[in-house]
Amino acid sequence: MTEIAHFINNARVASTSGRNQPVFNPATGEEANTVALASTAEVDAAVAAAKAAWPAWSKTPALRRARILDKFKNILWDRAEDLARAISAEHGKTHDDALGEVTRGIEVVEFAVGAPSFLKGEFSENVGTNVDSFNIRQALGVVAGITPFNFPAMVPLWMFPVALVTGNTFVLKPSERDPSASLLLAEWLKEAGLPDGVFNVVQGDKVAVDALLEHPDVKAISFVGSTPIAQYIHQTGTANGKRVQALGGAKNHMVIMPDADLDMAANALMGAAFGSAGERCMAISVAVPVTDAVADALIEKLTPMIESLKVGPSTDKDSDMGPIVTAQSLERIHGFLDGAEAEGAKIVVDGREFKQDKQGYENGFYIGGSLVDNVEPDMRLWKEEIFGPVLSVVRRNTYDDAVALIDQCEYANGTAIFTRDGDTARAFSQDIEVGMVGVNVPIPVPMAFHSFGGWKASIFGDHHMHGMEGVRFYTRIKTTTQRWPTGQRTDPEFTMPTLG
């Protein structure tokens, strides 16, 4: 059994902390490896390597930095299958789903390669007599990313390509549940020509997180995870003088209007609710059909589709949905369904009844898809993020009632509406208090050249992720005003200077 360790100064580094924890194969339920849990000293070593590399890296021309990222991009395309297999082995998602994750991550690398264009500043000639003014964007220094288990490749790829290409050095603290993908990314960056110390990985738990949050040489923290931890990351990081973007939890609703194409809506819900076993911050976990007639018809369509979901290991190409990442997460999902039943909701399809009978996988962390009707806003099933394959149905009588339901939710990551009516869709897009909106699109994750992020308790900090928001987060603006001697005499000025 291997201990998955750190990557510091362009080399794998065995841990000296003496602490580790198991890494499971969710498909079998067996312990596959262990992962090191870094000490504060090991985090310090990674930050020191990044700090030492920063002066030269930040002064490397943006075009050269972009060329290294371009080589890295090509390596990712060539080895996407390898990365997907590493993701599936520790997370449990199907191979095709893991490939989709890799592709969405590569799109950010493709965006980052355009650094020479988006780092251009502004210049104004003669803002005053013989005075010019210009601004530039400069890197912050050492920055860090703390990433979740559900996208062990994509979320880091949403962070570090933009950070690196803008001239920062990076320390990644991946999830300890599925850490192997991070080391592949680090080794492939090295192969692409990234200098020593520019990208580092420290495995670990809260000890490593707190060490990064408190380290004086870390200038910014990017985080994706649950809302309570996002809030902690933001409060602790900013209290230590850092720039922080902390993306938290979600409770994403999809409104189905009476004029919607129900087949289209039902198919969209299947992928959005049950893809990746619901372990997505952009998963649709609440369907909001407007009128009982729409609700009844939707449930009639969804029921046989959910009952026929093929749940199995990622190695089975026929699997629609893989296992849950850990036994503890599986138990939590069972608890949500137990509670919904006790609170009076109607379980139409019960995923708890699923039993995995494939030989060798009987002890994996499996559950079937669940459909729960008559869910109301006072129930735990609606209030909290489930992070599992459970679709709640909250019936509403009118469009206004549906909007009010969504707006009262503390989370505001993503939402969608299915309708044929342009007026309704436009009003929904403009008025809903949610950061990302889909119109007949169930999971409205923006492309890499736009930016990703929610509102309210789904984000803490002022900047969304990747796209130009990512560039702004990882850089700061510097404005220079200059005058060159012309031989003309100037007298001292004691009033507030006005150049115009």
Residues noted as catalytic: 281
Helices (H), 343-439: 380-383, 399-407, 422-431
Helices (H), 60-94: 62-78, 80-91
Angstrom distances, CA of residue 249 to CA of 148, 225, 228: 11, 7, 8
Q: What is the residue-wise DSSP string for 261-315?
A: -HHHHHHHHHHHHHGGGG--TT-EEEEEEBSHHHHHHHHHHHHHHHHT--B--TT
Please tell me the distance from the alpha carbon of residue 270 to that of residue 90, in angstroms, as a whole number.
24
223 forms beta bridges with: 146, 246
Q: Which amino acid, residue 246?
A: A
Taking the CB of residue 249, how many other CB atoms lie within 10 A of it?
20
Angle at 320 between CA 316 and CA 323, to 5 degrees: 75
Torsion sign across C-alpha atoms 467, 83, 230, 330: positive
Q: Please give the distance of CA 315 from its chain centroid, rounded to a whole number.
A: 25
Which two structure tokens, joined as six digits, stand for 88?
């599936």
Coil, helix or strand at residue 430: helix
End-to-end CA distance of the chain: 71
Cα(110)–Cα(106) distance, integer angstroms: 6
Token match 């592949």: residue?
184
- 335-341 long-range contacts, Cβ below 8 Å, gap at least 24? 336/380, 336/381, 336/384, 336/386, 336/388, 336/390, 337/370, 337/372, 337/381, 337/390, 339/379, 339/380, 339/381, 340/372, 340/375, 340/379, 340/380, 340/381, 340/392
How far apart are the C-alpha atoms of 209 and 145, rounded to whole Å? Answer: 10
Cα(261)–Cα(274) distance, integer angstroms: 20
Q: How many CB atoms lie within 10 A of CB 124?
A: 11
Dist. CA 17–CA 181, nearest whole Å: 22
Paired tokens of 454:
């929610």
